Amino acid sequence: MRIVIQRVTQASVEIDNQIKGQIGNGLLLLAGFTPDDTEEDLKWMAGKVAQLRIFNDDQGKMNLSVLDVQGDVLLISQFTLYANTKKGNRPSYINAAPPAIAIPLYERFIGLIQDALGKQIQTGEFGADMKVSLLNDGPVTIVMDTKNKDLF
């Protein structure tokens, strides 16, 4: 599982000219899955996202988590996080999980994030053509991958 975490002051996702999900202060998560992602990977990532201290405290130091600031989360599925650009100019997505595998992983991850935060989150729609808008705060953008847990 690979995820891009963006600290935002606002974010939204639009599908067919309708707002599907919208948040204020919190995290925009772009998540991609592989066929070999496990329940352990999903749980690890949900815990890291909920506890990641990337919000400013009273002294302006990144010392607070999304839980601490009672922020919201907008989660978007994004298979293109597994783009392979090694050959030629057209990316291959062979490493991304196909929908039959990715959809259950995405849905399970939604539940795990909600459990970790103790509240509902906003989402996009798996496989839809989505327009994502955000105001990145900082900017703060972090990329994490469950295949490289030792780096995080």
pLDDT, mean over the chain? 96
Predicted model pTM: 0.94
- What token pair was written down for 38? 């496990």
Name the pLDDT band for 149 (thresholds 50, 70, 90). confident
Nearest CA-CA partner of 107 in 132, 82, 75, 131: 75
> What 3-state class would DSSP assign to 25?
coil
Q: What is the CATH number of the domain that holds 120?
A: 3.50.80.10
Condensed to tens digits (0 to 9), the pLDDT of residues 107-123 reads 999 999 999 999 999 99
Catalytic residue among 38, 51, 70, 80: 80
Condensed to tens digits (0 to 9), the pLDDT of residues 41-74 reads 999 999 999 999 999 999 999 999 999 999 999 9
Q: Which domain, by its residues, includes 47?
A: 2-151
Q: CA 54, CA 8: separation in Å to the nearest integer?
A: 11
pLDDT at residue 152 tops 80: no
Catalytic residue among 6, 34, 55, 79: 79
Q: What average pLDDT does the segment 7-28 reach?
A: 98
Nearest CA-CA partner of 26 in 134, 146, 151: 134
Name the pLDDT band for 150 (thresholds 50, 70, 90). confident
**Quick one: angle between helices 39-51 and 99-117, nearest 10?**
40
Residue 121: DSSP 8-state: -
Q: Please state the domain count of the chain.
A: 1
Q: CA 113, CA 63: separation in Å to the nearest integer?
A: 20
pLDDT at residue 36 tops 70: yes
Q: Is 114 a catalytic residue?
A: no
Q: Is 80 a catalytic residue?
A: yes
Condensed to tens digits (0 to 9), the pLDDT of residues 126-142 reads 999 999 999 999 999 99
Catalytic residue among 33, 34, 55, 78: 78
What percentage of the chain reaches a pLDDT higher than 70? 99
Q: Which residues contact 150 (CB under 8 A, 6 or more apart)?
A: none
Q: Is 79 a catalytic residue?
A: yes
Nearest CA-CA partner of 76 in 136, 138, 121, 117: 121
- CB atoms under 10 Å from CB of 123, counted, come to 20
